[in-house]
Amino acid sequence: MRTVETLQFDHSFARLPGAFYTRLFPTPLPTPYLVHFNEDAAGLIDLHPKEAARPEFIDYFSGNRLLPGSEPLAMLYSGHQFGVYVPQLGDGRAILLGEVRNQAGERWEMQLKGAGRTPYSRDGDGRAVLRSTIREYLCGEAMQGLGIPTTRALSIVGSDQKIFRETVETAAVLLRLAPSHVRFGSFQIFYYRRQHELLRTLADYVIAHHFPALAEKKEKHALFLMEVVLRTARLMAEWQAVGFAHGVMNTDNMSILGLTFDYGPFGFVEAYDPGFICNHSDHIGRYAFNRQPQIGLWNLSALAQSLTPLISKEAATEALDQYEPVFNAHYTTLMARKLGLKEFRNEDVPLLLDLLRLLQSNKIDYTHFFRALGNFKQAPGERNSDLRARFIDIAAFDAWAERYRSRLLADTLPDAERKRAMDRINPKYILRNYLAQIAIRKATEERDYTEIGRLLHLLRRPFDEQPEMARYAEPPPDWAKEIQVSCSS
């Protein structure tokens, strides 16, 4: 294990031409203090957990002191925001420090989020607030626990510095880890500026560092696009299956590696509503839950257009044509597992769709229902009273349950074995907004950070029963309906 001073730093992105970034130092954070430290994430860069107890740790991870070997910079990119192209965005409050190579040979970029103004801040103050850093810190670990590709976070450093959003809040800095922070918008800016050689440089860099098997291929740029399409299609299927809504699927928030990226006004579907809008700022529902697969393809089309100076339109179309079948195949595989089926058959489509309609019309909690479905008894005459009692339209559920029973009997899988398999894919615990809000209130009003640690521990094992934590699986309280999250979240 390493100390902060002996982390094996490199900064391959900083070796690119200066057109890709602006070098600058973080803005010092007044009177910083440690809010939380993620030991699991520290293991990704071989950092010894005891390092968090050193006074220097807070200075290093607030941006007040430069990490040895780091080369801080803000990345340049553009992107479509709510469908409208914005010619220049870039890291307006984040500073990339460089990459740390761990003993396994993996590279993890370290980024300070909330580290002050950059040339890309526009009218922003360059800071993050404690509320939003807690949400991202927790959700990265929640998604990791669910097995969904994601960025991670190492630490939160807080400050009493006042920051104005909808109200006055306090500042914080999040240390984010990812194999790469390159996004779709990183390519778009050089396409729209007609700087095609820079576009090629960036594509070659990403291929060399993250898709090395393609580096010597004749059609490496087309194959690169294909790989991004496949990864994004699978990611969208995983979001839909678990009930996760991102909230701001702008092209500058889409990872080139297919990671869940830039957590803001996210939410998990509770009472099932396919049109669930988690972002209070999304007035037209562009990023509603059921539109995410479509938006994923839309964003990939924008990326494909940006790569047309490097690949033929035919190759771009061929890659994009793979999106829908890959998404459908992965989604139906996941949903078959959630239903306890050995495989998904074409005749299972009505069974699944009718169930989702039942969940919607009866306002059934999506996560609770699928977890409880593992207890379904397939013996003829079994009423499955616990499941039945959840529905207003009991007759409709009974009719569906008979069809489901017949389908399970065709698989000949014993109830106990099926339940074990279903409990491995249907989580008992998710990061509901009210749980995050409780942790935020304790942190911002009482400087009590224990709930952050408790949730972190819980969400790392979302499929385990954890009986001592059972209250975290209870239905949301009535006040949870009043929680609103927006792009400032």
Average pLDDT of the residues of the chain:
96
Nearest to 398 by CA among 409, 408, 383, 378: 383
Question: What is the per-residue pLDDT for 94?
Answer: 97
Question: What percent of the chain clears pLDDT 90, i.e. is strictly above it?
Answer: 94
What are 324-379's pLDDT values in tens digits? 999 999 999 999 999 999 999 999 999 999 999 999 999 999 999 999 999 999 99
Tell me the CB-side half-sphere exposure of residue 103, using CA atoms within 13 A: 7
In sequence order, what are the beta bridge partners of 23? 73
Question: What is the per-residue pLDDT for 480?
Answer: 80
Contacts of 368 (CB under 8 A, 6+ apart): 390, 473, 475
Selecting among 46, 59, 91, 252, the annotated active-site residue is 252
Nearest to 236 by CA among 293, 169, 308: 293
Can you list the positions of beta strands (E) in 230-346?
244-245, 267-268
48-57, 270-279, 479-488: which has the minimum mean pLDDT? 479-488
What are 309-322's pLDDT values in tens digits? 999 999 999 999 99
User: Read out DSSP for 384-437?
Assistant: -HHHHTT-SSHHHHHHHHHHHHHHHHHHT--HHHHHHHHHTTS-S----HHHHH
Question: What is the per-residue pLDDT for 488?
Answer: 61
What are 122-164's pLDDT values in tens digits? 888 999 999 999 999 999 999 999 999 999 999 999 999 999 9
Whether residue 487 has pLDDT greater than 90: no
What are 53-111's pLDDT values in tens digits? 999 999 999 999 999 999 999 999 999 999 999 999 999 999 999 999 999 999 999 99
What are 261-277's pLDDT values in tens digits? 999 999 999 999 999 99
Q: How far apart are the first and last CA of the chain?
A: 35
Whether residue 479 has pLDDT greater than 90: no
Residue 483 pLDDT grade (very low, low, confident, very high; cuts 50, 70, 90): confident
Question: What is the per-residue pLDDT for 225?
Answer: 98
Structural domain boundaries in the chain: 4-181, 185-333, 339-423, 433-482
Q: Which two tokens stand for residue 472?
A: 């975290």
Question: What is the per-residue pLDDT for 100?
Answer: 96
Told to judge if 448 belongs to the known catalytic residues of this protein, a careful annotator would answer no
3-state class (DSSP) for residue 242: helix
Residue 471 pLDDT grade (very low, low, confident, very high; cuts 50, 70, 90): very high
What are 397-443's pLDDT values in tens digits? 999 999 999 999 999 899 999 999 999 999 999 999 999 999 999 99
